[in-house]
C-alpha cells in the first residue's frame, strides 16, 4: 500500500490554506458553530482565518493579544493567541497577517476566556496591506467575538499590558 499525501484544507475562496487547526489547550471542547466560524474566515488577502474549528471553553483559558496603546479599546479586539507573543515585530506581523495600518503592535496583554464562550481557532489567511502582502500562515490564531462597543466582553482577568516587544 502506498501512503497518500493529505490534501490541504481549502479556504472560503477554495484556495489551499497553509497549516491546519492545531489541537487547542486544555479547557476547550470542539463544537459545531458554523455562524461563528464563518465570521472568523476570510478570503485570500482579507486577513482573518483561512480555515477554522469552533470550540467552547469549559474552564478559563489564557490568551494573549498585541494591540495599539493609543486606542485602549483595542485591548478587547477579536484576534488572540494561545502562545505568548514574541518579536521581532515584523516577524509577528508576517506570522499573523497584521497590516501596519491596522495596529502599531506596541502593547501586549493577557486575559482569560470566560467559561462558556465559543471561539474559533485556525491558521491565518493572507493579508493585502497598502505596501506589503503577508502570505497565508500555519500559525494558529484565536477568534474571540468581543464587542467592546456594546460592552460584550468574552475575556476577563486582563492584565494592564506592557510595552511590546
| pTM, two decimal places | 0.92
Give the separation between CA 144 and CA 155, rounded to whole angstroms: 8
Q: What pLDDT score was predicted for residue 1?
A: 39
Q: What pLDDT score was predicted for residue 12?
A: 87
Cis before 46? omega within 30: no
Q: What pLDDT score was predicted for residue 7?
A: 66
For residue 102, CA distances in Å to 42, 77, 94, 129 come to: 16, 12, 13, 9
Q: What pLDDT score was predicted for residue 58?
A: 98
Q: What pLDDT score was predicted for residue 134?
A: 97
Give the separation between CA 54 and CA 122, rounded to whole angstroms: 9
Give the separation between CA 165 and CA 152, rounded to whole angstroms: 28
Give the separation between CA 5 and CA 133, rounded to whole angstroms: 29
pLDDT digit of tens for each residue in the chain (165 aa)? 333 456 678 888 988 999 999 999 999 999 999 999 999 999 999 999 999 999 999 999 999 999 999 998 899 999 999 999 998 999 999 999 999 999 999 999 999 999 999 999 999 999 999 999 999 999 999 999 999 888 899 999 999 899 999
Give the separation between CA 112 and CA 135, rounded to whole angstroms: 29
Between the two ends of the chain, the Cα-to-Cα distance in Å is: 50
The cell for 161 is 499590558
Amino acid at each position: 500500500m502506498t501512503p497518500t499525501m493529505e490534501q490541504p484544507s481549502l479556504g472560503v475562496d477554495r484556495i489551499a490554506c497553509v497549516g491546519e487547526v492545531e489541537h487547542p489547550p486544555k479547557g476547550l471542547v470542539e463544537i459545531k458553530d458554523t455562524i461563528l466560524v464563518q465570521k472568523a474566515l476570510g478570503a485570500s488577502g482579507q486577513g482573518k482565518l483561512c480555515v477554522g474549528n469552533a470550540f467552547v471553553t469549559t474552564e478559563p483559558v489564557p490568551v494573549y493579544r498585541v494591540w495599539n496603546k493609543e486606542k485602549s479599546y483595542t485591548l478587547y479586539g477579536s484576534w488572540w493567541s494561545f502562545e505568548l507573543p514574541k518579536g521581532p515585530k515584523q516577524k509577528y506581523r508576517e506570522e499573523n497577517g497584521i497590516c501596519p495600518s491596522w495596529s502599531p503592535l506596541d502593547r501586549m496583554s493577557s486575559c482569560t476566556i470566560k467559561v462558556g464562550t465559543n471561539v474559533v481557532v485556525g491558521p491565518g489567511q493572507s493579508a493585502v496591506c497598502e505596501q506589503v502582502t503577508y502570505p497565508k500562515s500555519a500559525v494558529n490564531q484565536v477568534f474571540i467575538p468581543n464587542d467592546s462597543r456594546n460592552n460584550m466582553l468574552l475575556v476577563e482577568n486582563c492584565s494592564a499590558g506592557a510595552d511590546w516587544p
